[in-house]
DNA sequence: TGGGATTTGTCCGTATGTATG
DNA sequence: GCATACATACGGACAAATCCC
């Protein structure tokens, strides 16, 4: 199929499309998929009849949203449409507002807990033994690290990814991962972590609950998991 | 307080910060709030010792995430940290993938339903009569418009905003609004709406349920509200 | 291993459009 | 209407990174 180029005016009588929109149109018109190569900046500049500076600025906008991915000296490609932009935006909001109020972090924790609890019935029903074994190993590592007074961000993140992986809803998995990242970044700014051992143990309890086959037990275990985290937040709020 | 400028090297030995990060640092260091004016591009160019082109490209990245807001011929300001970037990114993903699979839209609907149901107990408990009256008026308008065969996007969006407004969780409200926008945009691409009257009536049923004071009734009403929407999706999937 | 070709990154100078007062 | 300040846009030049032969 020949390359399709969007016109500056989508329909006569309407205002001309922005460069960003025309590049998005280009991707849609040519049915490109994540990873597919985009034209060079020079070619886009020619085809859309705008300077390379404008193309570059449009690309910056698009890469911030992970609609395209730019590789220095190599080329530009259709992005993976991940939610990295959301993570950056939320993390910045958290850092900017965490001085004034703690609402943001509290809302974030509530949302994480709520979404995980939503999937509790499905998780116990499907009971993915492979994932469960991996989660058990991660929990053990976390307890070990906690005993040494060390943190365990990598293990914690992976644990929660696995927990929701059985949901079948890719979107909620990605969102929860973003929330995890934002939480992790913002929490750093309010001081060192507390309740390390308690939090690590809470992950074992979550697996126990899943194996028990009771959705209610899992819900309770998830709630208990988030309690020390809320407690830490309350303390830092009081310390201000 | 004198203006604080972030150094290119945060700590000796580490790699230098990107221009985007240095501008974010500038905002954090000077404790700026949404709406506060940013330095001009020329001044940023001087202070950060990089060309105006780089400043502009960085600004494009930051404005895509609504970290700054640029007003042509006037100035640049700290942005409102809204989730417009997420909406754009998700909407594009939906349009790009809706040809191949319907998972995305289905996941999105599930997520909207789930989050609204999560707040059902709180909504019936607090029972904001003002919001309820406004919602009732909106529902009536929706039914009128549906009877004329017309759509009612504005009313629908506002209705759902009001529904979750009593949750007290600002984040979930903003997220749901983004999901509404994305849903609306992506749904357009799969054809004209169906079940107009049924959907309009479903909103009346939601208010009835809230007034009944039963969280279970509200949950059921919300589920019924999303049923015709899922049905429309299934039909379009079958039509491919 | 190396070197040339391609592509993105950075910078500069200048001109134009737009909002404020 | 005018002057000023600011963002928008363009074109050209060179640097840096990557790939491929």
Answer whether residue B235 shows pLDDT above 90. Answer: no
pLDDT in tens, B118-154: 999 999 988 788 999 999 999 999 999 999 989 999 9
* pLDDT-based confidence at residue A240 (cuts at 50, 70, 90): low
Can you give the pLDDT at residue A234?
82
- Nearest nt (C1') from B49 Cα: C11
Q: Which nucleotides of D are covered by protein (CB under 7 A)?
A: 5-13, 16-19
Tell me if A28 and B93 make a contact (CB, 8 A cut-off): no
From the list A171, A168, A170, A136, the residue with the least C-alpha distance to A155 is A136
Q: Whole-prediction pTM value?
A: 0.91
* Average pLDDT over every residue of A156-174: 92
Residue B177 pLDDT grade (very low, low, confident, very high; cuts 50, 70, 90): very high
Rounded to 5 degrees, φ, ψ at B59 are -65, -35
Length A65 CA → D17 C1' (Å): 23
What was the pLDDT predicted at A175? 95
CB B76 within 8 A of CB B40: yes
- Residue closest to A210 by CA, chosen among A198, A224, A222, A227: A222
pLDDT in tens, A16-44: 789 999 999 999 999 999 999 999 999 99
- B35 phi and psi angles, rounded to 5 deg: 100, -20
pLDDT for B103 equals: 87
Give the nucleotide at minimum CA-to-C1' distance from B43: D6
Q: What is the mean pLDDT of residues B177-189?
A: 92
pLDDT band with cut points at 50, 70 and 90 for residue A122: very high
| pLDDT > 90? residue B97 | no
Structure tokens at A174: 């990605």
Instruction: Determine whether the interchain pair B92/A24 forms a contact, defined as Cβ–Cβ distance below 8 Å.
Output: yes
A87's enclosing H/E stretch is: helix A84-97
Contact present, A67 and A79 (Cβ < 8 Å): yes
């Amino acid at each position: 199929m020949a390359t399709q180029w969007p016109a500056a005016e989508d329909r006569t009588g309407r205002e001309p499309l922005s460069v960003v929109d025309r590049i998005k149109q280009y991707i849609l018109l040519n049915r490109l998929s994540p990873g597919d190569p985009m034209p060079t900046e020079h070619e886009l500049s020619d085809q859309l009849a705008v300077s390379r500076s404008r193309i570059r600025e449009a690309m910056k906008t698009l890469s911030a949203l992970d609609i395209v991915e730019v590789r220095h000296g190599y080329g530009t490609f259709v992005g993976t449409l991940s939610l990295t932009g959301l993570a950056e935006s939320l993390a910045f909001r958290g850092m900017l507002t965490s001085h004034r109020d703690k609402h943001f972090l509290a809302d974030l924790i509530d949302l994480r807990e709520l979404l995980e609890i939503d999937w509790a019935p499905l998780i116990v029903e499907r009971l993915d033994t492979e994932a469960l074994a991996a989660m058990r190993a991660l929990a053990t590592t976390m307890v070990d690290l906690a005993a040494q007074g060390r943190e365990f961000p990598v293990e914690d993140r992976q644990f929660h990814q696995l927990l929701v992986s059985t949901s079948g809803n890719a979107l909620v998995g990605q969102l929860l991962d973003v929330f995890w990242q934002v939480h992790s970044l913002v929490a750093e700014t309010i001081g060192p972590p507390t309740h390390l051992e308690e939090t690590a143990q809470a992950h074992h309890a979550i697996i126990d609950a899943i194996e028990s086959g009771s959705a209610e037990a899992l819900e309770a275990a998830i709630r208990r998991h988030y309690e020390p985290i809320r407690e830490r937040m309350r303390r830092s709020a009081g310390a201000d």
